[in-house]
Structure 1
């Protein structure tokens, strides 16, 4: 994270300014992030905020180290009223707006996005809210309904939106019904939690990754059955064991992202039926965004 090269810039509100993030901004920033929290989404803690400053981005099956540049919009008393994190990869001329929070205040969002676009002016392509499963500071995409002002501001600044998945949620009973143990369970580091694997002839044929938080929220990051072993009820058995495990760990609610935007309709419908049969309900549609600029002509062309 770079915080030493950014100059102050004025914002739409008199007396406020965009400046680098400072460690003492933490409590204010965590409130801003939690103001956009969806049901079942973990609360932002000091540890999560610190990890987001020099953590990892999950994308297309890869875990990529990232060090975002973080700016805050501070009011006349120098208290953060908005925050944005963004970065760029110089080798591919691509930028990424990781997250932005400003209590859905349009002018504040515009000031922050303007700052990020200016800092990423060298990037012909800029993605926003791109990622896979729920991450440290968000659900893995922009919740279109819950964050309508952010969507509108992105569009006003030239971004094109694309549906990326659906955010689902359900409560967990204090005492979950016992589930048949069909999967081996192992701890995992990324994301911190547990991996459940069903094997046949010693080969993995179905897998889930779940995590439970101290605030009693939980996430199903991943659940998948090999295509050659589907329609045997393995996904149902695996999900039942995963939810029972999360309840045993004290979770009272669980969320997941159904990444069905690129799936065939038959697979999406089957996954929807499975999750609905377990009591998951639709909370919001997640979107990702992209902004493209014409490449500057090379000298002499």
Structure 2
């Protein structure tokens, strides 16, 4: 295919990913790395190529083996990569991940290639967290505006779903919860913290095992009868202290604050207020995309 890039008018071609492309693809992924995210390793890339991920495991298990392709110039230099797959249960297609140093013409070409190979069907993009990142379940739209624009140009509609936040560790100044029970967690691997009174669960939190000095707060909640007493902030302080002891130098978290007005069960106003008060800063908003035939 011939497309024009900001670099120059050049002839570009698409071919299947090959093992020798690993260094170039890792560089492409690294160019899009966000604060609070680890460098993608060859092992992480291998998992993504195989269609596996430690996060959203069940969703990935529903997909056919993914196809990964690279776009390269006449000199053979890899300029972009895209991975896509189909889901047999509903015949939907998925653009799983895509990297091209935010050159919009390349993003458009890779998206067009994936859509052509997926065929006429409902297609989703950046719907699941891949093994390339530590839980990024969506496209960070502010950091990757060219990819977002290319998706919209291809007929996708975006959904603003997640708030991605980070904080440095150790973090002082937060209270700590009393009588916290800590157990091993399996999905994802890490620790589960519980505060109980008389056998009744008052609050809980889940943290991930640190990766390259990065720890994730996956979940924190307080039962309705125990809210408004500072327990959430205290449990957050305990969780961050535990992440520090486990070797984390940074903490990240995700807030799914896309609940429609009036949905009190999924309202995350209190959670956002809690994390802002604790000093977490927003890195980006995570978007997923859908294109109907």
Same fold (TM over 0.5): yes
Deviates most, 109-118 or 249-258? 249-258
> Quick one: distance in 2 between partners of 1:55 and 1:130?
14
Which of 5, 20, 26 aligns to 2:22? It is 26
Q: In 1, distance between residues paired with 2:239 and 2:59?
A: 23
Deviations 1:222-248 (A, max 9, x none): 222334443333322221111111111
**Map of 1:272 onto structure 2:** 272
Aligned in 2, Cα 1:204/1:107: closer, same or farther, shift over 3 Å? same
Does the aligned pair in 1 maintain the 2:175–2:234 contact within 8 Å?
no
Matches within 5 A, 1:75-154: 75-123=73-121, 125-131=122-128, 135-138=130-133, 139-154=136-151
CA distance in 2, matches of 1:199, 1:281: 30
> What does the per-residue CA deviation read over 1:16-43, in whole Å, with 9 as the maximum and x for residues that have no partner?
3211112232222122112111110122
Question: Do the aligned partners of residues 269 and 91 (structure 1) sit closer, same or farther apart at CA in structure 2, a change above 3 Å counting?
Answer: closer
Equivalent in the alignment of 1:44: 40
Instruction: Please say if residues 142 and 285 of structure 2, whose CA atoms lie closer than 8 Å, have aligned partners that are also in contact.
Output: yes
Alpha-carbon distance in 1 for matches of 2:45, 2:178: 36
Which one of 66, 70, 73 corresponds to residue 72 of structure 1? 70
Partners in 2 of 1:168 and 1:214 — Cα distance?
17
Q: 138-147 vs 256-265, which deviates more?
A: 256-265
Contact 2:174 2:278 in 1 (8 A): no
Aligned residues: 281
Q: TM-score when scaled to structure 1?
A: 0.83
Deviates more, 1:177-186 or 1:208-217: 177-186
Taking the TM superposition and a 5 Å limit, the aligned residue runs for 1:1-301 are 14-53=10-49, 54-56=51-53, 62-65=58-61, 66=63, 67-123=65-121, 125-131=122-128, 135-138=130-133, 139-173=136-170, 179-180=176-177, 182-262=179-259, 267-293=267-293
- In 1, the alpha carbon distance for the partners of 2:75 and 2:201 equals 56
CA-based RMSD: 2.7
Distance of 1:146 and 1:49 partners within structure 2: 21
Cα distance change of structure 1 residues 243 and 109 upon mapping to structure 2, 3 Å threshold: same
Q: SS of the counterpart of 1:14?
A: strand
Tell me, yes or no, if the aligned pair for 1:10 and 1:18 is still in contact at 8 Å.
no
TM-aligned CA distance change 1:180 to 1:17, over 3 Å: same
Contact 1:16 1:78 in 2 (8 A): no
Measured in 2, the distance between the counterparts of 1:50 and 1:193 equals 22
Residue range with higher mean Cα deviation, 47-56 or 11-20: 11-20
